[in-house]
Amino acid sequence: MCETNLLEKAEMYLKLCYRELDKEHLYENRWNEVKNSIKDNGTYHLLDFELNYGTKVAWRNSNKCIGRLFWRAMDVFDERNLNSEDSIFEALFRHIESSTNGGNIKSTITVFSPETEIIIWNPQLLSFAGYQNSDGTIIGDPKQLEFTNECIKLGWKPKMGKFDILPLVIQIGNEAPTWREIPQKIIKIIPIEHPEIKSFQDLQLQWYSTPIISNMILEIGGIEFKAAPFNGWYMGTEIGARDFGDEKRYNILPEVAKIMGLNFRDKNSLWKDRAIVELNYAVLYSFKKSGVKIVDHHTASKQFMQFIKKEKKEGREITADWSWIVPPISGSTTEVFHTEMNNDVKSPNYFYRIEPWEAT
């Protein structure tokens, strides 16, 4: 980032930060420090509270997230001092365990140094492998085919199951990427069952508890953190409608239709609609039975409308991506479906990166 852009973004964020935290009397001295640092060194270092608040404002500004009502409550692990493989892996394991919190999922972010070139190869810290057979069929999660292949190239041994947790892969600077298995004891897996359709268990579906996104760049005041994994908790449709339901993912709907006795050869039977509702019901039921926090899409939509009201009361403009905020099932039954949204992108924020194996 050029010096002019960095100065502009730094000034914009610091003004916001010091105003919203009632520290305006400290702003001028701090701004002079930052300007001098950028002039002399081409960059500057965020103070602890500036980083902490910036991660939360970035969540507040995340247009694709429906769960922003709780943006102030995120736990922040500032790990900018870490630069060794062992310490970074340990911090990632700690994030998984702490955020999972025995099932009472906590919104959490771990921020690593922007100066040390740390890259987490995993799109999510927890994910299931995908394998392609010689006949073109896929075992596991098709979304993870490329990353799974990269793990295999690095020496990870494929297990060829439908729900194999992938290892963590990190890279520091120009060093070769390295991988480590995630300790089983810190991973919480939820078996999916249905309270009324007992044959649902025959599908042997399962999912992990905590969606920890690790392929986005956190930008605060012009400083880019390429390694900053973060999580909230699942909305049920993310798993039931998308991960399980999408044809390019696990594509479970035809199997669900079969065990329900639906005519899946006749579209007029609405078999997909009926199957996807029961699949999502099973996901919500199973997570709650396992004591793992999850939210249904109707509750999440109401929470988002509360978020809008609170932000308007604070005099802040709301930005959101309608296509992401509206749930993938029963959209028109939620208030967010009928709400106009401005998709302008604010800073601080989280931005998708090019995957490491595609950049080399």
Separation CA 287–CA 4 (nearest Å): 49
Tell me if residue 68 is catalytic.
yes
Separation CA 264–CA 267 (nearest Å): 7
* DSSP 8-state code for residue 218: E
**Contact call for residues 214 and 122 (beta carbons, < 8 A):** yes
Separation CA 138–CA 146 (nearest Å): 12
Which among 50, 59, 60, 65 is annotated as catalytic? 65
Tell me if residue 151 is catalytic.
no
Separation CA 154–CA 179 (nearest Å): 8
Which among 17, 59, 60, 68 is annotated as catalytic? 68
Which among 60, 233, 255, 271 is annotated as catalytic? 233
Tell me if residue 233 is catalytic.
yes
Q: What is the CA radius of gyration of the chain?
A: 22
Which among 193, 219, 238, 255 is annotated as catalytic? 238
| Pairing of the two strands 138-140 and 130-132 | antiparallel
Is the peptide bond prior to 348 cis by the omega test (within 30 degrees of 0)?
Answer: yes
Tell me if residue 278 is catalytic.
no
Burial 181-198 (b: 16+ CB within 10 A, else e): ebeeebbbebebbbeebe
How many CB atoms sit inside 10 A of residue 268's CB? 6
Among all residues, which ones are annotated catalytic? 65, 68, 233, 238
